[in-house]
Amino acid sequence: MPTNKFYITTPIYYSNDEPHLGHLSTTIYADILTKYKKELGFKTLFLTGNDEHGEKVYLEANKSKIAPQTFVDDMAKKWRGYWKKMEVQPDIFMRTSNPKHKEIVSTLLTKIKNNGDIYKGVYRGIYCVGCEEFKTEKQLMDGKCPEHRPDQVSYKEEENYFFKLSKYIPQITKLLKSGELSLETETWRKEIISRLEGEKIQDLSISRANVSWGIELPWDPKHTVYVWVEALMNYFTATIIYKKESFYPANVHFLGKGNNWFHSVIWPALLLSLDIDLPKNIFVHGYYNVEGKKMGKSLGNVIKPNELIEKYGVEGTRYLLCATMPYNKDSDVSYQLFNDIYNSHLANGIGNLARRLSTLAKGSNLVTKIDFKNSLSLNNEIKNAYESYNLTKVCEEVKKQMDEINQKIAKTEPWNIKEKEKKDMLLKELVEDFLKSAILLKPVLPDTWSKIEESLSNKEVQQTEVLFSKLN
């Protein structure tokens, strides 16, 4: 039976720091897809939030000499504030220090244990606190984590409880290969399958003996639950805490490639053990690189969200992240690239066209009511792009249409038409063409669309304000 419900999640981000470009992009994509589905009449549930436990957050709180709970409370305020500023409207802002989350996690773990899927053992190996992950030799480069500073990596030997991950590997491999467990996009699906088939997958340590900032194991409170395990469970616990059970399971978990293994292998294995439904789809995107290099503090090439907002505005930033989305590969960005896209797609594209048409049609009575769903049904390319979460393609297609409308204006020269009726007819056609394309960016640029609609779609056309000022 077709359902009109859509549950989408982002990873819940560590609250050790404020959001960076990567967090911003995944969350904006999820917000845009939620707004898109809403336009189509879906009931939506959009979850984002903070992953508040574990060593990484604890160490940062300690460094600031603030109690961990106060530290994560402050961070949650900052993150929520960020999303509000970026026009991101989650239905649930999940926090793992929520006492109800702790309660449900305890129940779930007890169930896994009662199923015979948990045993005690000794872990010996490398742990990267940046990833909050035990690393295999293969995942390290010269003994270092490719994503974090060398001081974040250390050898650990501790008594842990283990989850029988290996027991579920054949089943998960089969589900992923058959597509029953859908993992997009192709690059990252292949990567996971080749790891599943090429390596002997070890059981997963699910408790930490020396990390106090976490959820106590119900049967052995000297241990806390490994932060990733309880974080993954948030996608389930949140639906109970916020009384949205009917939305479970997620239609799509949206995430960056670094989180793929956890979402495509560990999370499904925990769910299989619990006999709870698997997510319908896992969508993995690549990372942003800056001028060919990995973005990082030590390289001094970090693009800060606030700098983007200052330069391009909130909606300019939302648009640029979509236009450069690392879909099926990593994406190389630079201020030069952002400037070029901003000028050609926004300032000279949609912004200039709105101004040009509203100047030509000012005072005319064109009354052009446009509907998102109808416009989409006339645009298969864009519909397919949205449906496959390819937001770069959405931007490219709309840009093409804007260029075509500009060419049509140049060809038809409405300013040379003397007869009012004939001129109004042509202007109505051009304005309609424009609105039908522009509305398709409504999920990306909600405020810009309101301004366009207000000036061009009204009884009497008003001149549109400058929506995106050209950058030099």
Judge whether 294 counts as a catalytic residue.
yes
- What's the min distance (Å) between Cβ of 13 and ligand MSP? 4
Do the beta carbons of residue 128 and residue 144 sit within 8 Å? no
Name the token pair of 426. Answer: 């042509």
- What's the min distance (Å) between Cβ of 186 and ligand MSP? 18
Cα distances (Å, whole numbers) of residue 93 to 24, 27, 75, 318, 381: 15, 12, 12, 20, 33
Between 45 and 231, CB nearer to ligand MSP: 231
Do the beta carbons of residue 461 and residue 358 sit within 8 Å? yes
Between 25 and 448, CB nearer to ligand MSP: 25
Segment near ligand MSP (CB under 6 A); pick from 7-15, 106-114, 121-129, 381-389? 7-15
Between 258 and 451, CB nearer to ligand MSP: 258
The residues in 16-35 that bind ligand MSP, with binding defined as CB under 6 A, are: 22-23, 25-26
Single out the residue of 7, 13, 226, 319 in contact with ligand MSP (rule: CB under 6 A).
13
> Mask 292-321, x = binds ligand MSP (CB under 6 A)?
---x--------------------------
Between 22 and 214, CB nearer to ligand MSP: 22
Judge whether 131 counts as a catalytic residue.
yes
Segment near ligand MSP (CB under 6 A); pick from 6-14, 69-77, 298-306, 374-382? 6-14
Q: Determine the size of the site formed for ligand MSP (CB under 6 A).
A: 18
- What's the min distance (Å) between Cβ of 119 and ligand MSP? 24
Between 259 and 379, CB nearer to ligand MSP: 259
According to DSSP, the β-strands at 118-128 and 153-163 are: antiparallel
Q: Does 58 bind ligand MSP (CB under 6 A)?
A: no
Judge whether 23 counts as a catalytic residue.
yes
Name the token pair of 364. Answer: 């005319």
Judge whether 174 counts as a catalytic residue.
no
Q: Which of 37, 56, 113, 131 is catalytic?
A: 131
Q: Which of 38, 167, 244, 294 is catalytic?
A: 294
3-state secondary structure the chain: CCCCEEEEEEEEEECCCCCCHHHHHHHHHHHHHHHHHHHCCCEEEEEEEEECCCHHHHHHHHHCCCCHHHHHHHHHHHHHHHHHHCCCCCCEEEECCCHHHHHHHHHHHHHHHHCCCEEEEEEEEEEECCCCEEECHHHCECCECCCCCHHHEEEEEEEEEEECHHHHHHHHHHHHHHCCCEEECHHHHHHHHHHHHHCCCCCEECEECCCCCCCEECCEEEEEECHHHHHHHHHHHHHHHCCCHHHCCCCEEEEEHHHHHHHHHHHHHHHHHHCCCCCCEEEEECCEEECCEECCCCCCCCCCHHHHHHHHHHHHHHHHHHHCCCCCCCEEECHHHHHHHHHHHHHHHHHHHHHHHHHHHCCCCCCCCCCHHHHHHCCHHHHHHHHCCCHHHHHHHHHHHHHHHHHHHHHHCHHHCCCHHHHHHHHHHHHHHHHHHHHHHCCCCHHHHHHHHHHHCCCCCCCCCCCCCCCC
> Mask 249-268, x = binds ligand MSP (CB under 6 A)?
------xx-xx---------
> Mask 200-239, x = binds ligand MSP (CB under 6 A)?
-------------------------------xx-------
- What's the min distance (Å) between Cβ of 382 and ligand MSP? 24
Q: Which of 37, 102, 113, 128 is catalytic?
A: 128
What residue is closest to ligand MSP based on CB?
22
- What's the min distance (Å) between Cβ of 235 and ligand MSP? 7
Q: Does 14 bind ligand MSP (CB under 6 A)?
A: yes
Between 83 and 288, CB nearer to ligand MSP: 288
Between 14 and 319, CB nearer to ligand MSP: 14
Single out the residue of 31, 39, 51, 315 in contact with ligand MSP (rule: CB under 6 A).
51
Judge whether 369 counts as a catalytic residue.
no
Report the interface residues with ligand MSP, using CB under 6 A.
Answer: 11-14, 22-23, 25-26, 51, 231-232, 255-256, 258-259, 287-288, 295
Residues involved in catalysis: 20, 23, 128, 131, 145, 148, 294, 297
